[in-house]
Amino acid sequence: MSNKQYTIVEMFNQIAPTYDRANRVLSFGVDTVWRKKACNKSFALLGEKKVNLIVDVACGTGDMMEYWRRQAKAKGIEVGRIVGIDPSEGMVNVGRQKFPHFDFEIAYATQLPLADASADIVSISYGIRNVLARQEAFGEFNRVLKMGGLVVILEFTRQARPSIMGRVTSFYLNRVLPKIGGFISRNKAAYEYLPNSIEGFVTTETMRDELIAAGFEPLYIRSFSMNISTLFIVKKVR
């Protein structure tokens, strides 16, 4: 693993105890809408009443896993197992305390401790930006998914043509968020990393092309809330 990748994971270890609190304040709770939408749309596209395995990569403190459980229950979908995988022990330890009934594993997105063709859904929420070997990770998602299985990504992608509202969100991300996040976590650098990593990240179109190259067919790609968050749902076709 590269030094840069270690540094990113170490940063998450440091902010882990305050991550959930900061997240609630900084997102104004809007992320709950995006998470529910991701789960509901994925279940509708998968069209199965019984799902054996959902894997949440870069699971952090486990919130997305809980959304999978709740939305499945609401839709009468039976889920065999939900596994969360993340290389940050700090984040996973918080997750284990919050959700003792879930399985967590410490691992990178590029080395998932799962058998070939074992998963129905692989999700990654606000995590793919931190995975430096992204193409390798997409290959790994493909390996562990069954044919027809889904990759579900939520991410703050960069828009190819920024709008006026884009300037407003950019001001919030660059000026406001590091101050509030820095205050709550006592780690300003970590919350300066967030806008920098978004601005240095690929556009929605580029990520779509990368997913196609990794053997997936796009089923649903849409940006929400003034294009802040983008949902990608793609299907394994080869």
Ligand X SMILES: C[S@@+](CC[C@H](N)C(=O)[O-])C[C@H]1O[C@@H](n2cnc3c(N)ncnc32)[C@H](O)[C@@H]1O
120 neighbors 53 (Cβ within 8 angstroms): yes
Sites for ligand X among residues 98-137 (CB under 6 A): 108-109, 125-127, 130-131
SS3 235: strand
Nearer to ligand X, 176 or 237 (CB): 176
Nearer to ligand X, 109 or 214 (CB): 109
Least distance (Å) between residue 55 CB and ligand X: 11
The full DSSP string for 145-159 is EEEEEEEEEEE-PBP
Among the candidate windows 42-50, 57-65, 97-105, 218-226, which touches ligand X by CB under 6 A? 57-65
Nearer to ligand X, 14 or 223 (CB): 14
CB neighbourhood size of 168 (10 A): 11
43 binds ligand X (CB under 6 A): no
Residue 237 per-residue DSSP state: -
CA–CA gap between residue 113 and residue 104 (Å, rounded):
11
Nearer to ligand X, 104 or 216 (CB): 104
Q: Tell me which residue has its CB nearest to ligand X.
A: 60
12 binds ligand X (CB under 6 A): yes
* Single residue of 37, 41, 42, 63 touching ligand X by CB under 6 A: 63
Q: What are phi and psi of 115, to 5 degrees?
A: -75, 160
Least distance (Å) between residue 89 CB and ligand X: 9
CB neighbourhood size of 225 (10 A): 14
Among the candidate windows 43-51, 85-93, 96-104, 223-231, which touches ligand X by CB under 6 A? 85-93
Least distance (Å) between residue 154 CB and ligand X: 7
What are the CA-CA distances from residue 163 to residues 79, 173, 191, 208 (Å)? 40, 15, 23, 21
Q: Applying CB under 6 A, what is the total number of residues that bind ligand X?
A: 21
The per-type count for the chain, helices as H runs and strands as E runs, is 9, 7
Nearer to ligand X, 31 or 120 (CB): 31
75 Cβ contact partners less than 8 Å away, ≥ 6 residues apart: 40, 43
Nearer to ligand X, 63 or 120 (CB): 63
Nearer to ligand X, 39 or 167 (CB): 39
Tokens 């101050």 correspond to: 179
CA–CA gap between residue 79 and residue 68 (Å, rounded):
9
* Single residue of 5, 14, 18, 187 touching ligand X by CB under 6 A: 5
SS3 175: helix
Which parts of this chain interact with ligand X (CB under 6 A)?
A: 5, 8-9, 12, 57-60, 63-64, 86-88, 91, 108-109, 125-127, 130-131
